[in-house]
Amino acid sequence: MTPTRHAIGLGLRRGWTEFVLSLRSAQDQGFYLFVAVGTLAFLWFNRDNELDGTGLMYPTYALPSILAGLVVFSVIIGPASTLAMEREDGTLLRHKAVPHGMQGYVTGQLVYHSLGLVPMLVTILVPSLLLFDELMHRGAVGWLVLAGALVLGLLATLPLGMLIGAVVPSVSKLGTWGMLPVMLLTAISGIFFPIQALWAWVQVVAQIFPTYWIGLLMRSAFLPDAAATVELGDSWRTGTAVLVLTAWAVAGMLAMPRFLRRMARRQSGSQVQEARDAALQIIK
């Protein structure tokens, strides 16, 4: 076995270990609970609202869309903040000092943040199916499409999260570099209300980025075919969605290693020391 393959194997195990440790940590349990309760409460208070002139109940439209929004948010902000933090606390430096360590580290990150979607989806989907009627209209096919949409969405956005984590100057800058753009994008991507409510140029901008397309794929998984009339062009545009997301995935995976290598090259003990000193300053 080549050292690279060996390192990737170690990375897979590392991702799994991090996932298990995260499930056991009160902090992360709290996070999953918070997201699930928040989402369910939002849907519950809007359970009697009907989407204007469609005959669709609001939770039916919003649940798949919100799931898409949450996937994008956690898969971008998760790795971005982990990377920015572990660059400052020395995790990355440790791996830089070890043969093929960076390959293992990156593999671990990809696995960990992908697995992190499972508890989030389960804690939202299971209670939703119990609380709301008629969420999944398409049965087994729908679940398959949902799985496909998740995988494609993950491939399209996870590299972006790693990329942001590699270039953001420090953890404290993450708000401006990561949170803000992702939230703005979520707001205009038809997650909480159909995109037609916005100006035409905003719709164009939203359709450049993955969030809108993941939401669209998710809705096509859950909603009946007739509901396609709510969408732009009265269609699910599945082909276009797959194409756009694949393009993002390819571009992201081509760009990611370059930025990660650049980040690793710059990593040094003094950098970790400076971050530590800065952190101690804040505590004082």
Partner 1 sequence: MRSARPDGPVISVNGLRMSYGQHDVLTGVDLDVRAGEVVCLLGPNGAGKTTTIEILEGFRSPSAGEVRVLGEDPFRAGDAWKARVGVVLQSWRDHARWSPRRLLSHLGGYYAPYSRPERPRPYETEELLHTVGLTEHADRKIGTLSGGQRRRLDVAVGIIGRPELLFLDEPTTGFDPEARRDFHDVVHRLSDLEGTSILLTTHDLAEAERLADRILILAGGRIVANGSAEALAREAAASSEVRWACGEDRFVHATPDVVPFVRRLFEEHGDAITELEVRPASLEDTYIAMVQRHQSGDRTVALTEVAQ
The answer to whether 215 and 190 have CB atoms below 8 angstroms apart is yes
Q: Which two tokens stand for residue 192?
A: 């909480």
Q: Is 3 in the site for partner 1 (CB under 8 A)?
A: yes
Indicate whether 96 belongs to the interface with partner 1 (CB under 8 A): yes
CA distances 228 to 63, 113, 134, Å, are 16, 32, 16
Count the Cβ atoms, other than its own, within 10 Å of residue 271: 15
Any idea which residue has 């719709």 for tokens?
203
Residues numbered 257-276 forming contacts with partner 1, rule: CB under 8 A: 267-270, 272-273, 276
99 binds partner 1 (CB under 8 A): yes
- Name which of residues 8 to 37 contact partner 1 (CB under 8 A): 10, 13-14, 17-18, 21-22, 25
* Residue 152, C-beta contacts closer than 8 angstroms, at least 6 positions apart: 214, 217, 242, 245, 246, 249
**Could you tell me the smallest distance in angstroms from the CB atom of residue 97 to partner 1?**
4
Q: Applying CB under 8 A, does 100 fall inside the site for partner 1?
A: yes
Q: Of 29, 46, 54, 91, which one interacts with partner 1 (CB under 8 A)?
A: 91
Comparing CB distances to partner 1, the nearer of 72 and 264 is 264
Q: What is the DSSP string of 157-204?
A: HHHHHHHHHHH-S-GGGHIIIIIHHHHHHHHHTTSSS-GGGS-HHHHH
CA dihedral 37, 42, 45, 50 (to 10 degrees): -140
For residue 145, the minimal CB distance to partner 1 (Å) is: 36
The yes or no reply on residue 119 touching partner 1 (CB under 8 A) is no
Q: Which is nearer to partner 1, 52 or 274 (CB)?
A: 274
Question: How many residues appear in the chain?
Answer: 284
Site string for partner 1, 130-169 (x = CB under 8 A): ----------------------------------------
The binding site for partner 1 (CB under 8 A) comprises 1-3, 6-7, 10, 13-14, 17-18, 21-22, 25, 86, 89-91, 93-94, 96-101, 104, 267-270, 272-273, 276
